[in-house]
Amino acid sequence: MKIMSVNAGSSSFKFSLFDMSQETVLISGIFERIGMEGGSYTFKFHGEEIRQELVLPDHVEAVRILMEKLVQLEVITSLEDIDGIGHRIVNGGEKYKTSTLITDEVLQEILDLKELAPLHNPVEVEVIVAFQKVLPTTPMVAVFDTSFHQTMAEEKYLYPVPYEWYQKYGVRKYGAHGTSHRYIMETISKELDNTHLRIISCHIGNGASICAIKDQKCVDTSMGFTPLAGLMMGTRSGDIDSSIIPYIMEKEKITVEEVLDILNRKSGLLGLSEHSSDMRDLIPLVEEGNETCLRAIDKYVSCIVNYIAQYYVTLGGADVICFTAGVGENNPYIREKVMERLVCLGVFVDLEANHNALGTLTKISSPQSKVLVYVVPTNEELMIARDTLKII
């Protein structure tokens, strides 16, 4: 069966088309600058990159072009060859504890949850509708980033605020990156042939979160009511004292929306380093002696270590720590810095293994380490495809 995974953005969407008999990617790509000048698509097909600039007035036209190109490239012979499409949805609230078949009712409920993910849910609905217009008979599945975290206990997901805020408005921790954390959990459980592990999963990219997992269930996670909470990230602040918001509003004479935009888009690594949100830019500057970039990286590492230590206690110890996502998979420097600070927990790094682990499933802890440490490349697209196949 051929299953497509779709990950939508406000002016773009990524896709991967899988042959699920072998779980192989037939073609993948991205449509960018939809509804803007300079639209384009980039496909990865048979080891080559195909790129074209073109006018993309809306998502429907982008989907139509995608299907046309799939036929032209003989990936499919007709639209009927695509058996199902899975869509990543950032927030499913409390209702959606698992992935689900998309109906008109489900689509409306995703839209109704837009206050919990205003930058994501409305766009994801728009893209689903676009795919429905081009492929009206193809079953589609919503795969929620929040569903994996629905096993958290009240003491973990409730905030110490008036309880009626939760009852009336759904104010609670929802988490994010659940599809990635679930993939990491399943992969490392299979690798170690053990479904009763205490796992600390570190999804460290431009967006970042850490998840405490026990017996294949989420116990706690660092992101909160929105993806702004938790770790310091590329451009997001992570956890801060909420009193800073009205204080800066008064000092800078700006609105709450402007403060939140700064906390989401101009903080984190970018804000502290005053140079870049990309670790690949910052590390060379640190090696040249740049103090502001070093300050940013030290804070970044400290945040990761603090959450790992917290979840070590939460889980009553840890069997394995996993690093994944852009920085977690590809940056030995950051992994080493984190592990150096975890020696008190019995964590020791194998420097050679860590240096050579670039985007491959690799054990990077030394034989003396009491906690196994692995680099585990994530594959949210495959997770979406698996869920879609199961449901349809």
Residue bearing tokens 């080493």: 336
- For 90, residues 6+ apart whose C-beta sits below 8 A from its C-beta are 117, 120, 121, 124, 144, 145, 146, 176, 227
Going across the sheet that includes 48-53, the strands are: 48-53, 40-45, 24-32, 13-19, 2-8, 82-89, 140-144, 100-101
Active-site residue list: 145
Contact 357, 112 (CB under 8 A): no
Contact 32, 41 (CB under 8 A): yes
Contact 171, 159 (CB under 8 A): yes
- Show the tokens assigned to 269: 């690594």
The pair phi, psi for residue 380, each rounded to 5°, is -65, -35
Residues forming beta bridges with residue 48, ordered by sequence position: 45
Contact 130, 62 (CB under 8 A): yes
